[in-house]
């Protein structure tokens, strides 16, 4: 039987959307005749990103609770009821063989309804600290695929499978040549390279940090590949030079990673999983502006294993120069961090997650 029907639900951020797309792509590779439907939240980025990836999507009228009393909060109960009704219609019409949730508001109503109708459901939790939606769904689903140890703090132990997070295919092999990558970005091949990653939108505090320390980098012969984000490119493009390459977006992440000697990055789940595979020394600067401060928890999980360095935004002014120069001047520390972060890599995550889905739908044969 090859005509399976799969619903994938998750969104709000790229950290929820891209794993869902990666899982769908692997399912499609194994089952070319399968049908796919994504379910997201209206007006969120998944409504644009999923069709770009070639999949259909339906939007639910749902959003999260605000931290203060607002009109949106007063509307929340009505949104939940509306979304549950809409999810019920989607399940009845599409008749899925399995539903996969990757976190985000829309996956709550979708998986609650599907599991209530006896449809096998799988959760994929990207972070070391489980999100609210996934915690609420833990008793409704059959399997929970996680990326970190000790997730039985949040989920039933017998449902947990440690698979890791899906990452883009070109990184799993990491075959990009370093000199070729440096030339691609117009950088020198005989100079240490610092890669700065702030996410597709950019990270204001990281950009401010880099601009403030351009003199430090220049004095120590460090060239920069600086992804400042589309919100900040107009402000920081003026720093472009032979040794500083400022870009709003990096289309060739495999080249960016290959070119780098040291990396400064946010600590979103997807970034952390990629950096484990890449295996370069990393200084994580977590965003403090995310739900339940999960980026700090992600970064701390690696720092506790001596697999990365962690600097909070509040510590940057006082500690950055000492921490960066300590790492830059200590090849032994660089090698230890690289070796330890590589040990945490789970490059087969997407395949392992799909294996679990196939077991649930009665097809445990590995393709």
Instruction: Give the domain ranges of the chain.
Output: 5-167+347-360, 170-343
Tokens of 34: 């399968």
Architecture in CATH for domain 170-343:
3-Layer(aba) Sandwich (3.40)
Annotated binding-site residue? 67: no
Which range has highest mean pLDDT (16-20, 146-150, 252-256, 319-323)?
Answer: 319-323
**What backbone phi and psi angles, to 5 degrees, belong to 96?**
-70, 150
Tell whether the model's pLDDT for residue 261 goes beyond 90. yes
In the chain, pLDDT over 90 holds for what percent of residues? 71
CB 97 within 8 A of CB 331: no
Tell the burial category of 331 from Cβ atoms under 10 Å away from its Cβ (0-12, 13-18, 19+). exposed
Residue corresponding to tokens 């120590």: 220
5-167+347-360 against 170-343: fold identical: yes
The residue among 187, 145, 186 whose CA lies nearest residue 137 is 145
CB burial of 301-323 (b: ≥16 within 10 Å; e: otherwise) equals: bbbeeebbbbbebeebeeebeeb
Q: What is the DSSP string of 309-356?
A: EE--GGGHHHHHHHHHHHHHT-HHHHHHHHHHHHHT--TTHHHHHHHH
Q: How far is CA 183 from CA 87, 192, 239, in A?
A: 50, 14, 19
pLDDT at residue number 362 = 85
Residue 13 among known ligand-binding residues:
yes
Residue listed under structure tokens 């070109």: 170
Nearest one of 2, 136, 155 to 145, comparing CA atoms: 155
Q: In this predicted structure, what is the pLDDT of residue 266?
A: 95
pLDDT at position 273 is 93
How far is Cα 244 from Cα 195, in angstroms, rounded to an integer? 10
pLDDT in tens, 190-245: 999 999 998 767 799 999 999 999 999 999 999 999 999 989 999 999 999 999 99
pLDDT top residue among 75 and 234: 234
Which pLDDT band, with edges at 50, 70 and 90, does 41 fall under?
A: confident
Identify the pLDDT of residue 366: 40
**Which among 36, 14, 18 is positioned nearest to 167, based on CA atoms?**
18
Q: What is the pLDDT of residue 365?
A: 38
101 is in an annotated binding site: no
Q: What is the pTM of this model?
A: 0.84
Please tell me whether 44 is known to bind a ligand: no
Write the pLDDT tens digit of every residue in 91-138: 999 999 999 999 888 899 999 999 999 999 999 999 888 988 899 999
Would the pLDDT of 367 be above 80?
A: no
Average pLDDT over residues 14-27: 90
Mean pLDDT value across residues 244-273 = 94
Q: What is the mean pLDDT of residues 153-162?
A: 96
Instruction: Give me 102's structure tokens.
Output: 């990757």
Q: Specify the DSSP class assigned to residue 115.
A: H
Read off the pLDDT band of 354 (50, 70, 90). Answer: very high
292 vs 53: which has the higher pLDDT: 53
Yes or no: is domain 5-167+347-360 CATH 3.40.30.120?
Answer: no
pLDDT of residue 176: 82
| Distances, alpha carbon 167 to alpha carbons 26, 68, 171, in Å | 12, 35, 7
Which pLDDT band, with edges at 50, 70 and 90, does 364 fall under?
very low
Closest by CA to 202, choosing from 212, 194, 210, 213, is 210
DSSP state of 145: E
54 is in an annotated binding site: no
**Residue of 111, 97, 110 whose CA lies nearest to 144:** 111
Mean pLDDT of 36-55: 90
- Write down the number of H helices and E strands in the chain: 16, 13
Is 14 marked within a binding site? Answer: yes
């Amino acid at each position: 039987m090859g005509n399976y029907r799969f619903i994938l639900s998750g969104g709000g951020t790229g950290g929820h959307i891209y794993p869902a797309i990666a899982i769908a792509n692997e399912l499609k590779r194994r089952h070319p005749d399968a049908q796919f439907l994504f379910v997201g939240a209206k007006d969120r980025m998944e409504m644009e990103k999923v069709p770009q990836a070639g999949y259909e999507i339906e939007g639910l009228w749902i959003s999260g609770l605000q931290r203060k009393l607002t009109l949106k909060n007063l509307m929340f109960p009505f949104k939940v009821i509306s979304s549950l009704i809409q999810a019920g219609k989607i399940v009845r019409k599409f008749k899925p063989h399995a539903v996969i949730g990757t976190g985000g508001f829309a996956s709550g109503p979708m998986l609650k309804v599907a599991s209530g109708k006896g449809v096998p459901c799988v959760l994929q939790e990207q972070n070391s600290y489980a999100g609210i939606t996934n915690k609420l769904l833990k008793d409704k689903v059959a399997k929970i695929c996680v990326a970190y140890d000790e997730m039985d703090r949040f989920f039933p132990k017998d449902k947990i499978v440690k698979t890791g997070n899906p990452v883009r295919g070109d990184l799993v092999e990491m075959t990009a040549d370093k000199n070729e990558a440096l030339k691609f970005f117009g950088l020198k091949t005989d100079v240490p390279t610092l890669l700065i990653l702030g996410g597709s939108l950019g990270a204001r505090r990281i950009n401010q940090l880099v601009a403030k320390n351009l003199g430090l980098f220049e004095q120590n012969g460090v060239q920069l590949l600086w992804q400042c984000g589309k919100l900040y490119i107009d402000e920081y493009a003026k720093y472009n030079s032979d040794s500083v390459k400022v870009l709003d977006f990096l289309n060739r992440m495999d080249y960016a990673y290959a070119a780098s000697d040291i990396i400064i990055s946010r600590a979103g789940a997807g970034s952390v999983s990629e950096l484990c595979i890449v295996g370069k020394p990393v200084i994580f600067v977590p965003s403090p502006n995310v739900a339940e401060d999960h980026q700090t928890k992600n970064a701390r999980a690696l720092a506790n294993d001596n697999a990365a360095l962690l600097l909070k935004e509040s510590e940057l002014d006082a500690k950055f120069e000492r921490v960066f120069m300590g790492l830059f001047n200590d090849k032994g520390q660089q090698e230890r961090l690289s070796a330890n972060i590589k040990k945490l890599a789970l490059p087969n995550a997407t395949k392992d997650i799909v294996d679990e889905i196939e077991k649930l739908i009665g097809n445990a044969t590995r393709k």
